[in-house]
Structure 1
Amino acid sequence: MSVKIVSVAKALPKYTRNTKDIIPYLDLWLSGQESRFRRKIIKIFENAGVDKRYSIMDAEEVFHKTSFEEKNDIYERETVILAESSLKKSLRKSSLEAKDIDFLITVSCTGIMIPSLDAYLINRLDMKQDTVRLPVTEMGCAAGVSGIIYAKNFLKANPGKRAAVVAVESPTATFQLDDFSMVNMVSAAIFGDGAATVILSSCEEDRGPVIVDEAMYHFYHAEQMMGFKLRNTGLQMILDKSVPETIASHFPAIVHPFLEKNQVQIADVDHLIFHPGGKKIVQTVESLFGSLGKNINDTKEVLRLYGNMSSVTVLYVLQRFLERDIKEGDLGLMLSFGPGFSAQRVLLQW
């Protein structure tokens, strides 16, 4: 019995802006800061590798002083809409109905909802009353791959079942208007909003790349590197500048033993499905993979077109591969990093 990824579908918020069109808002927001600082921040936005992004709020709302309550209300309303849209699209792609889903995982870290998103989806789509639910809320950018790992383990233990992993994020809702730190600036420059749903199956009749293996890797004593601090104004980003260097130092231990356990080497991997955390992280990983004769062009393109959507982003990269005519036997490596600090890995075979 094998677990397969059957379909991936994305959903985007209604608001979108090119980065060049955000600069006037940025300039106005920074009007009280020193001119040198303002020029530096504008350069960060222009050189972030993000041409366009989508948002659950229009630019006027983002740069307007709003409370945590107001931002979270928008998050609650809009993420349910995006989640429902992406789940319906993924079901249509796989010719399935909502009642065909046995295990529903919802992933988000950029807002707070109780009951969790999965409860709303079960009601909106009239899913089975015995659907198993799992909200994943505090794993950040790594959580899209984490959700796939949890779904795979459920399906391995339950042949003939199907699971949906629904990831929805709005980093826009965490933007801190009164925070002029470099962390807030860099975060604002690279992040965008979006949603995606992955459907997995342990049913014999379903088709898609097989999950060969999966694993998590934990960096010891690195809790301070990435995450959110809950403040009265909302979720304030924590992002240590040492993240790219830390990833690089652990890279061999993250990649090579995992592949060797499955009797393959990096040279045998045909497709790299890597989470685009930001330009510096992408450049770091690109140089590491490049020295091994591999590229992460799809990762760079997703960052350019959508920005970093936290847990959602790697699923957009995955979708690009599932929409291609990939030959049987090809291997793919999914890789993402997130708070903890941690790395999540999945080995796929078409």
Structure 2
Amino acid sequence: MKEKKARGGNAPFPAFPSPPGASVWLQGIATAVPAHTYSQNEAREFMRRVPHFTPKEQRFLDRLYQGTGIEHRHSVLADFGKKSEEYSFFSRDPSLLPEPSPARRNDLFIVEAEKLTVQAVSQLFQELSWLEPSSVTHLITVTCTGFSAPGFDYQVVQALNLPPNILRHNIAFMGCYAAFPALRMAHTICSAHPKARVLIVDVELCSLHVQFKPDPDTLVANALFADGAAAALVSGDLSGDASPLFRMDSFASRILPDSTGAMSWRLGEKAFDMTLSAYVPKLIRENLNSLLEESLAESGLSLRDIALWAIHPGGKAILDKAREALGLDDTDLEDSWEILRNYGNMSSATIFFVLRRMAERARTGPVFAAAFGPGLTIETACLEKVAP
């Protein structure tokens, strides 16, 4: 394994290229969203009902929701778009108090995460009709919006009759970039064991953590985040009718210096609390291009070789700054913009929605993918789209 010195930091970071002669494939991606869909206008009106928001805070809400680039989101909660007397999760009292406790939010996560992940995995098995559940050797689960033991990894195994001796791994509480460590782990497993079949299941139910605090971080999180799940199959085995979507090439990761407070996600008194600095888009703009160059070098590629771009649509400002950093046009980020517009930010699951949409398009070639999250951390991957 090579190590290179990270620009802007003192510690070297490892690069993770594919072993010579070995290929690992992302063979399928399926996604699922809850049944409850609401427009950004409905979400804004829901928040405007909070009685303790001042006129200044109400005006901030209006500007915020109008500028997100989001049109629709999905939630496991039915309350958005309903009258307050019809709420089933939030308080029906005009004060909207008391807010749901962390325990109530997490209890609902346990129930709804199982439903949504089973939906996504079932869809994946349906699309990969040649894949037998009994042939899956490893399961990697990803989430940062709830937890329990046994967790939804156990629930998926039980509900879908996966092998009881399947090797399970859980990537928890890493935030919006967590799909990349999951893909990297799957890549490592399949490089070492070419016959392995790794199922990745990623679910994020961000709307469970909507709160009525007036601080900007909470208001921004309320305006951006949504619910979704994805399932993906990774393997080096192309026997039978397997037809891959992407070849997985290399991965890179960087913790940006002096950025610990830029973004965080912690258990609070009422829900998980987000810290989201206004400097996050600027930090991404200043660091993404150098990490791109180092990632491409590991794959033997140059900037002009990249045909497709899969950038985590964390928000309009993040996509704008990523576009500037990489010298791209908005059309280059078409898949990311489309997912942001129709789904919002579903934390770590979002990049699978972007890759799924990309896989449905005719264009093939090298792909640069990136996501950002607490730390502040940037994770990247070089892939190659091989089939429409």
1:125 aligns with 2:146: no
Question: Aligned pair in 2 of structure 1 residues 152, 56: CA closer, same or farther (>3 Å)?
Answer: same
> Are the equivalent residues in 2 in contact too, given 1:335–1:345 (CA < 8 A)?
yes
Q: Deviations over 1:217-257 (max 9, x none)?
A: 22234222212121221211111111111111112221111
Q: Distance in 2 between matches of 1:159 and 1:142?
A: 26
Question: Aligned pair in 2 of structure 1 residues 255, 72: CA closer, same or farther (>3 Å)?
Answer: same
Q: Which of 26, 46, 50 is the equivalent residue of 1:25? A: 46
Structure 1 equivalent of residue 262 of structure 2: 225
Q: Which of 73, 82, 93 is the equivalent residue of 2:127? A: 93
Aligned 1:195-274 pairs, distance under 5 A? 195-205=229-239, 206-208=242-244, 209-274=246-311
Give 2:68's aligned amino acid. A
> Are the equivalent residues in 1 in contact too, given 2:250–2:298 (CA < 8 A)?
no
Structure 2 equivalent of residue 34 of structure 1: 54
Q: Distance in 2 between matches of 1:301 and 1:12?
A: 15
Give 2:65's aligned amino acid. F
Deviation at 1:291, TM superposition (A): 4.8
Deviation at 1:144, TM superposition (A): 1.2
Structure 1 equivalent of residue 320 of structure 2: 283
> Are the equivalent residues in 1 in contact too, given 2:124–2:232 (CA < 8 A)?
yes
- Structure 2, unmatched stretches of 5+, are 1-21, 81-86, 92-98
Moved over 4 A (4+): 291-294
Q: Deviations over 1:82-117 (max 9, x none)?
A: 011101111221221221211101100011221121
> Are the equivalent residues in 2 in contact too, given 1:26–1:42 (CA < 8 A)?
no
TM-score by length of 1: 0.95
Q: Distance in 1 between matches of 2:205 and 2:152?
A: 14
Q: Which of 192, 209, 215 is the equivalent residue of 1:181? A: 215
Structure 2 equivalent of residue 135 of structure 1: 170
> Are the equivalent residues in 2 in contact too, given 1:337–1:343 (CA < 8 A)?
yes
Q: Secondary structure at the match of 1:203?
A: coil
Q: Deviations over 1:281-312 (max 9, x none)?
A: 11111222335897211101100100000001
Q: CA RMSD in A?
A: 1.6
Q: Distance in 1 between matches of 2:160 and 2:328?
A: 47
Q: Deviations over 1:153-179 (max 9, x none)?
A: 1111111111111110011112222x1
Higher share in helix: 1
Q: Which of 53, 69, 75 is the equivalent residue of 2:103? A: 69
**Percent sequence identity over aligned pairs:** 25
Deviation at 1:269, TM superposition (A): 0.3
Give the number of equivalent residue pairs: 346
Q: Which of 34, 41, 55 is the equivalent residue of 1:13? A: 34
Question: Aligned pair in 2 of structure 1 residues 22, 91: CA closer, same or farther (>3 Å)?
Answer: same
Q: Deviations over 1:128-166 (max 9, x none)?
A: 122110111121000112211111111111111111111
